């Protein structure tokens, strides 16, 4: 069945986790929601066999990926960076290219800095980008709102964690769907 181009699918999507690090996470105004949704997305990625790419921004100063997220990763191999856009690091671009997929499902911290710059650079490189608004966060709500608006205007799809999971599931049947229901209950 032909579907709208903005709908994500399991065959074309990569989950990108931007900098969910100790010192950053604790400053986020909607911390609990963002962490919970990233954890849910990681469980979902496992069910639907989505590749996961993790970044850490200057871990020596900002700490490492928070433990509750790290323990849900299929493997802990962060792309370490000191530049805000993940595309400034060749290892990030290589990790994406190795998947052969073209849609980035964006989550992480901070919405208006590393997430936004990565999204804009991804769009510039002809990736399709979906940002889960409830799985990205900032210290200040206004920065979050403006960054989401800017990314939407640039061509990113802005949605929620639950919405993107149902897009990828596509149908209410089978073992994968039953496991999805356990995540959203």
Cis check for the bond before 110: say yes or no (omega within 30 of 0).
Answer: yes
**Which among 86, 114, 121, 134 is annotated as catalytic?**
114
Burial class (CB in 10 A: 0-12, 13-18, 19+), 87: buried
Decide if 134 is catalytic. no
Instruction: Tell whether 39 is covered by a domain.
Output: yes
Structural domain contains residue 2: no
Name the active-site residue from 81, 86, 121, 134.
81
Q: Is 86 a catalytic residue?
A: no
CA distance 99 to 133: 24
150 belongs to a structural domain: yes
The reply to whether 149 belongs to the active site is: no
Does 59 reside within a domain? Answer: yes
Asked if residue 163 belongs to a domain, the reply is: yes
> From CA 34, how far away is CA 109, in angstroms rounded?
9
What is the domain count for the chain?
1
Q: How far apart are CA 70 and CA 21, in angstroms?
A: 10
**In a structure prediction context, what are the per-residue pLDDT tens digits for the chain, which is 185 residues long?**
789 999 999 999 999 999 999 999 999 999 999 999 999 999 999 999 999 999 999 999 999 999 999 999 999 999 999 999 999 999 999 999 999 999 999 999 999 999 999 999 999 999 999 999 999 999 999 999 999 999 999 999 999 999 999 999 999 999 999 999 999 98
In a domain, residue 125? The reply is: yes
Q: Can you give the residue range of the structural domain that contains 155?
A: 13-184
CA gap 96, 102 in Å, rounded:
8
User: Could you tell me if residue 6 is inside a domain?
Assistant: no
Here the CATH number for the domain that contains residue 139 is: 3.40.50.850
Residue 4 in any domain: the answer is no
């Amino acid at each position: 069945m032909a579907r709208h181009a903005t709908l994500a699918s399991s065959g074309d999507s990569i989950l990108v986790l931007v900098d969910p690090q100790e010192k950053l996470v604790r400053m986020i105004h909607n911390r609990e929601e963002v962490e919970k949704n990233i954890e849910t997305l990681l469980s979902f990625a496992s069910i639907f066999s989505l590749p996961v790419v993790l970044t850490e921004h200057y871990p020596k100063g900002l700490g490492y990926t928070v433990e509750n997220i790290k323990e849900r990763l299929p493997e802990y191999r962060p792309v370490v960076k000191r530049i805000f856009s993940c595309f400034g690091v060749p290892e990030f671009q290589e990790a994406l290219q190795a998947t052969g997929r073209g849609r980035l499902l964006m989550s992480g911290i901070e919405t208006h800095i590393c997430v936004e710059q990565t999204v804009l650079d991804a769009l510039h490189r002809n990736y399709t980008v979906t940002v889960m608004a409830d799985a990205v966060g900032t210290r200040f709500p206004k920065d979050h709102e403006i960054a989401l608006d800017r990314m939407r205007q640039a061509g990113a799809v802005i949605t929620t964690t639950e919405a993107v999971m149902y897009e990828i599931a596509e149908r209410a049947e089978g073992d994968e769907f039953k496991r999805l229901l356990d995540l959203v209950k």
